[in-house]
Amino acid sequence: PDAKRIDLAECPKNLGQPIKVEGWIKHVRRQGKNLIFIDIRRRMETLQCVITGQLAKTEEASQLTRECCVRLFGTLHEEKRAPGEVEMSVDFIEIVGPSPVDLEDKLNRDSNPEQRMNQRHLDLRSDDMGCLFSLRAKMMAGFRTFFQQRGFAEVTPPTIVKNSCEGGSKMFPVKYYEEEAFLTESSQLYLETMLATLDSVYCVLPSYRAEKSLTRRHLAEYTHMEVEMAFYDFEDLLKFLEDMLVFVTNYCATEAKVELAKLNPGFKPLTGSFRRMSYAEQIQWLKDYNKQHPEDPFINAETGKEYEYGDDVPEKPERCMVDTIGEPILLHSFPKELKAFYMKPSATNPRETESVDVLIPTVGEIVGASTRIDDYQELMDRYKELGMDTESYYWYNDLRKYGSCPHAGFGLGVERLLCWIGHRDHIRDACMFPRYMGRITP
């Protein structure tokens, strides 16, 4: 009763003391009738506990199963063979939340991925998932630290909206009372409304996209980190993206050492400035690739020919290019027709935009960025060109009418970056409860 409650991380400092610990059972090993070893888990820490003699024969001891939640009383001693070189001799067992033995079947790693996804709420307790979501939390802290250092304010735009940002073809309609509305695909237009108030702002919110193809980097609901910055020109934007990714990857390398040692031991944080490549050079790269790989060239599924200037380059060839090059790429100057209506045309080539995607190996695009059209008439002309209705964007257009300023911004897919840092092949593994076509539970 006078045992001190301690955190598992504090164990080495409490050798010989009467203590109590709480946690979930990772493993149970029974040796004969009188000896039970269990590993308990709390946060990222593990403690080996040993139960001997009469205690091993009690009703409580028989209830020690995988994922059972327990409170254990006892003393700590050194044990070279235990994780952390500390072991607890248990004097008293309290079963806090029993766990039936059928859990072993539910968590069977060999079962098919969809069945495993049905058990996602339990699957999240694995070591891998523990490390991954701990890494994610630290990565997010890294972003927020970076933004705070730059004086950026976090805001929360609405996610039930009337307007589209990216063309709208992938938006989920929702019934909003008697009106038709949509789940947001990007918060960017709303972020722009805060520039005259706070100068530079960001948000971390879900964006929703009704993706019809099941790729390894698309979710129907993902965490979208978006930033909008007043008085940033294109060069400022590129520099900002580099600084941010260098900062956040270094933050992860120092703050999430334990997690990375488990998930991605070879991880190297980013340094310096990134390689730059224009969209036109990307098309040339793909043509050259096809010349060198006539047996297995990249073909545009829509045209049946190789990729030409003006084509949208999808995931696979994009990923192949960045994997081959083996370092992040700032892919810039996309033609207007491939990008959203608000992106500013390039000063040197009006057919192209001041846009940039950040590509990283194993994933491809993690960021879409651009400077924005800040001139009212230019925006009106662009709507006309695209046959868009201007009236429903009246509030967005007003920003150009009343004290417009040059500005730039971007959107980053949090799960995509986490895939790369945490070394996951598939975005579903980097999301707590992934949503994709056909999946809405748990």
Note the residues at the interface with ligand ATP (CB under 6 A). Answer: 166, 209, 211, 217-219, 222, 224, 365-368, 411-413, 415-416
Q: Are 163 and 180 in contact (CB under 8 A)?
A: no
Give 217 or 262: the residue with its C-beta nearer to ligand ATP: 217
Whole-number minimum distance, CB 211 to ligand ATP, in Å?
5
Q: What is the size of the binding site for Mg ion (CB under 5 A)?
A: 2
Whole-number minimum distance, CB 357 to Mg ion, in Å?
6
Give 263 or 330: the residue with its C-beta nearer to Mg ion: 330
Give 142 or 368: the residue with its C-beta nearer to Mg ion: 368
- Report the partner that residue 366 touches, choosing among ligand ATP, Mg ion, none (CB closer than 5 to 8 A by kind): ligand ATP
Give 61 or 366: the residue with its C-beta nearer to ligand ATP: 366
Stretch that binds Mg ion, among 18-26, 129-137, 139-147, 368-376 (CB under 5 A): 368-376
In angstroms, the Cα distances linking 200 to 340, 367, 382 are 21, 18, 25
Whole-number minimum distance, CB 171 to ligand ATP, in Å?
12
Read off the amino acid at residue 159: T
Give 217 or 400: the residue with its C-beta nearer to ligand ATP: 217
Give 185 or 255: the residue with its C-beta nearer to Mg ion: 185
Whole-number minimum distance, CB 356 to ligand ATP, in Å?
11
- Report the partner that residue 211 touches, choosing among Mg ion, ligand ATP, none (CB closer than 5 to 8 A by kind): ligand ATP
Whole-number minimum distance, CB 192 to ligand ATP, in Å?
15
Among 368, 409, 413, 434, binds Mg ion (CB under 5 A): 368
Cβ atoms < 10 Å from Cβ of 282: 24
- Report the partner that residue 23 touches, choosing among ligand ATP, Mg ion, none (CB closer than 5 to 8 A by kind): none
Enumerate residues 6+ apart whose C-beta is below 8 A from 146.
243, 244, 247, 248, 251
Whole-number minimum distance, CB 257 to ligand ATP, in Å?
26
Give 119 or 163: the residue with its C-beta nearer to Mg ion: 163
Whole-number minimum distance, CB 409 to ligand ATP, in Å?
11
Give the residues lining the site for Mg ion (CB under 5 A): 365, 368
